[in-house]
Amino acid sequence: MNVTGIIFACVDTDADALESWNRWYDLEHLPPNIALDGIMTGRRYGADPALHQARLPAQPMDGFADGQGTNVTIYTLCGDPPSVIADMTATRDLLEAAGRMDGAGNRVVRAGDAMFFAWGLADPVLRTPEGEVPHIGHDAIRVVLRRGGDESTRDLVAPEAVAVDGVHGVCSYTAVFMADVSCDIYLLEGDTVAVTEATRRAAPHPEDAQVLLDAPFAVIVPFDYSYAERIRASALPQTID
């Protein structure tokens, strides 16, 4: 099946509930969504204080400013993205009625959208065709939300980025509901902050792009929620209110 796009969702909870919320998400929320027609996989990512500190610009788009936007979920799709997000919304209502959202706790959606797959480019060493790039293994991502710079990012930025050690691929998606927004997802391995900064130096954003968010996130491994302690020990917001 070909990748058609993604559902990108940033949903936060209170710091003192991160472990229970993550456990609910991994055990009870991902499965019914991944089981829907049109969804291939779902992966979750989090930003600890060091990754928040590496975030650009100084005041990113709403939902990611001032220490917000810690947890991201990306569903990889093989169906029509607007139709899939409509199915997910209907499924959420069914889960609510069945009591399967009871463990969701206090939460807020910071950002979310359905997005169409535009292009992908892998490290040439991998010999990976474009359609397989979204499936390349990684332990972190760098998310860039931008307006403009589409051709420059594809033709100039991406080839320089995948030449950086620790960058296995770049995928770009076009948002359905956020007007004129593109989302570039860099698939990373290694020291997330160091690789992110090296990529920024080697492959800077094109001049014709307005960057709304440039932020790294680490893969959340099921049942390893140790980033929660680092958040509670930091100056990041402790509640979503």
pLDDT in tens, 104-161: 899 999 999 999 999 999 999 999 999 999 999 999 999 999 999 999 999 999 999 9
Q: Return the bridge partners of 183, or none.
A: 145, 173
Burial of 35 (0-12, 13-18, 19+ CB in 10 A): exposed
Q: Which of 62, 11, 63, 64 is nearest to 33 (CA)?
A: 11
Residue 135: φ, ψ to 5°:
-95, 0
pLDDT digit string, tens, across residues 145-201: 999 999 999 999 999 999 999 999 999 999 999 999 999 999 999 999 999 999 999
Measured from the Cβ of residue 24, the count of other Cβ atoms closer than 10 Å reads 20
CATH number of 5-232: 3.30.70.100
pTM (predicted TM-score): 0.97
pLDDT of residue 67: 94
Sorted by where each begins, the domain ranges of the chain are 5-232
- 61 contacts 210 by C-beta, under 8 angstroms: no
Structure token digits, residue 71 = 């947890």
Q: How far is Cα 112 from Cα 121, in angstroms, rounded to an integer?
A: 24
Helix-, strand-, coil-residue percentages of the chain, each rounded to 5 = 35, 30, 35
- How far CA 196 is from CA of 113, 170, 178, 187, 234, in Å, comes to 24, 12, 25, 10, 22
Amino acid, res. 211: V
- 188 contacts 216 by C-beta, under 8 angstroms: yes
pLDDT of residue 140: 98
Q: How many residues does the chain have?
A: 241
